[in-house]
Amino acid sequence: RVTADTDHYLVTQRVARVELIPGTTTEIWGYDGVFPGPTFRGRRGRRMVVTVRNELPVPTSTHLHGGVTPAGSDGFPTDLILPAGYSPAPPGHHGASGRHHDTTRDYTYPMTQRAATLWYHDHRMDFTGPQVWRGLAGLFLITDEVEAALPLPRGDRDLPLMICDRSFAADGSLKYPQRDMTHPGADGLFHAGIFGDVILVNGAPWPRAEVPAVRHRLRLVNGSNARRYRLSLSAGTITQIGSDAGLLSAPLPREDVLLAPGERSDVIADFTGLPAGTEVTMTNTLGEGPTADVMRFVITGPAADDSRIPATLATPETLDRTRAVAERRFDFRFGGGRWTINNQPYDPAATICSVREGTVELWRFTSDFHHPVHVHMAHFQVLSRGVNGPEPGDAGWKDTVDVRPYETVQVLVDFTGHRGRYMLHCHNLEHEDMAMMANFDIV
């Protein structure tokens, strides 16, 4: 539904059986009963309202990852949509958040942000890992005038690719290992998060795309619970044009692209000149066998290509360290049987700090392990990693940064947008569910 200044969408979360692995069916929990969920396309300057109806047997919360979203629509982990059919709260009852809990919910996205590849996913407290694993995730693309004016590949040459790993039982059902809540983190496998043994691209294992020998835009999204990828192509070239939260200022040639959970990379794959019949494989060089095989492009033959990679993509502001009005440290660490930030496990009622809307702060992340650190609402730029400057993969506006074991990453965070309670957390979803989250207030 479209009104003067707003695009309205309705999406229903429901149980469905779909064919992910050819020849078998899998029960999923999907937005509109599909996995990934429907791809939303927004335009800067047009508000979007998405009504989510919950027909699943469990409560949910939907978060737009990378969204510059008012706090009431951010998908706070305890701000739940109750399952339809669940016994309703007595009249006048309000939840802990003070909001009326219901089985449908309007999420308002003002769309004041720059063009970027975002994604949305479930964010229910303690259950984000299993609920995303069952299928509650999808893509959300935002365009703006700057991007629309660029001669980048478009239409069927613009391919959003949501990459995630899953495991299946012989009957086709998804396998999420049972969690031992009495000894969180005691299981070595679970300590590192949950890993699947097959890689899915837009819900399909080892898919094959027939493409002409021209430039394609690949919007790579790591929607995995815990797996990191280093993606490379067996032929052709890769040039990065965008990061998590927008276009880069200039194109960046890359050998491969490293993506931690939650991160995105917008790249141009150039297949120009490859002979018809060439099979170009996209490989995860951090995996082995089926966890190395991501997808294949089969070249159909030459075709006209009026796309280009312009030398200037956008003119994003570069944050300067002198703008930081405060410095804070957040230490991501396993302690006392929990994953913690500054030694504290998540408490939905507590806040770790208050920041002023419209200011820039220097945040320093330290860690004992691989922790993809994600900040809601506020985008950031990487100032340093270890003792060096940022690496190529750190370029541009980010909302998630992979902090490696015993590494310090410094970022400049821009808190321009909205006031309210937001969160930062590890985007390894099992770490997140085991309390590696914290709230911060923007005042």
CB-wise, 163 or 424, nearer to Cu ion?
Answer: 424
- Residue 418 interacts, among ligand C2O, Cu ion, none and using kind-specific CB cut-offs from 5 to 8 Å, with none
C-alpha 249/C-alpha 264 separation (Å) is 16
Q: How far is the CB of 431 from Cu ion (least distance, A)?
A: 3
The answer to the question of residue 65 lying near Cu ion (CB under 5 A) is: yes
Going from the C-alpha of 393 to that of each of 169, 270, 320, the distances in angstroms are 35, 19, 19
The answer to the question of residue 193 lying near ligand C2O (CB under 6 A) is: no
Strands (DSSP E) contained in 19-153 are 26-31, 37-43, 47-54, 62-65, 104-109, 116-122, 137-143
Going from the C-alpha of 442 to that of each of 25, 91, 124, 338, the distances in angstroms are 45, 32, 22, 27
C-alpha 56/C-alpha 33 separation (Å) is 10
CB-wise, 297 or 422, nearer to ligand C2O?
Answer: 422
Q: How far is the CB of 121 from ligand C2O (least distance, A)?
A: 6
Q: How far is the CB of 426 from Cu ion (least distance, A)?
A: 3
Peptide bond into 36 cis (omega under 30): yes
CB atoms within 10 A of CB 397: 24
CB-wise, 153 or 160, nearer to ligand C2O?
Answer: 160
Q: Which of 65, 216, 254, 398 is the binder for ligand C2O (CB under 6 A)? A: 65
C-alpha 214/C-alpha 268 separation (Å) is 10
C-alpha 120/C-alpha 245 separation (Å) is 14
C-alpha 393/C-alpha 9 separation (Å) is 34
C-alpha 34/C-alpha 174 separation (Å) is 14
Q: Which of 48, 60, 63, 109 is the binder for ligand C2O (CB under 6 A)? A: 63
- Residue 379 interacts, among ligand C2O, Cu ion, none and using kind-specific CB cut-offs from 5 to 8 Å, with none
Question: Is the separation of the CB atoms in 73 and 107 below 8 Å?
Answer: yes
Site string for ligand C2O, 373-402 (x = CB under 6 A): -x-x--------------------------
Site string for ligand C2O, 318-347 (x = CB under 6 A): ------------------------------
- Residue 114 interacts, among ligand C2O, Cu ion, none and using kind-specific CB cut-offs from 5 to 8 Å, with none
Q: How far is the CB of 128 from ligand C2O (least distance, A)?
A: 8
- Rule CB under 5 A: which of 158-177 touch Cu ion? none
CB-wise, 65 or 216, nearer to ligand C2O?
Answer: 65
Question: Is the separation of the CB atoms in 84 and 103 below 8 Å?
Answer: yes
CB-wise, 179 or 376, nearer to ligand C2O?
Answer: 376
CB-wise, 216 or 425, nearer to ligand C2O?
Answer: 425
Question: Which range in 181-189, 291-299, 370-378, 402-410 contacts Cu ion by CB under 5 A?
Answer: 370-378
Q: How far is the CB of 262 from ligand C2O (least distance, A)?
A: 5
The answer to the question of residue 431 lying near ligand C2O (CB under 6 A) is: no
DSSP string, 157-205: GEEEEEEEEE-B-TTS-B--PPP-TTSTT-SHHHHT----SEEEETTEE
**Considering Cα of 415, then 248, then 221, then 199, what sign does the dihedral take?**
negative
Site string for ligand C2O, 229-268 (x = CB under 6 A): ---------------------------------x------
Q: Name which of 336, 332, 334, 379 is nearest 360 in CA terms.
A: 379
Beta partners for residue 7, in sequence order? 2, 48
- Rule CB under 5 A: which of 380-439 touch Cu ion? 426, 428, 431
Q: Name which of 435, 433, 430 is nearest 194 in CA terms.
A: 430
Q: What is the DSSP letter of 393?
A: G
Beta partners for residue 279, in sequence order? 298
- Residue 425 interacts, among ligand C2O, Cu ion, none and using kind-specific CB cut-offs from 5 to 8 Å, with ligand C2O
- Rule CB under 6 A: which of 117-136 touch ligand C2O? 121, 123
Q: Which of 133, 425, 430, 434 is the binder for ligand C2O (CB under 6 A)? A: 425
CB-wise, 228 or 376, nearer to ligand C2O?
Answer: 376
- Residue 371 interacts, among ligand C2O, Cu ion, none and using kind-specific CB cut-offs from 5 to 8 Å, with Cu ion
Query: Which residue of this chain has its Cβ atom nearest to ligand C2O in the complex?
Result: 65
C-alpha 167/C-alpha 150 separation (Å) is 40
Question: Which range in 38-46, 265-273, 354-362, 374-382 contacts Cu ion by CB under 5 A?
Answer: 374-382
Q: Which residues bind Cu ion (CB under 5 A)?
A: 65, 371, 376, 426, 428, 431
Q: Which residues bind ligand C2O (CB under 6 A)?
A: 63, 65, 121, 123, 262, 374, 376, 425, 427
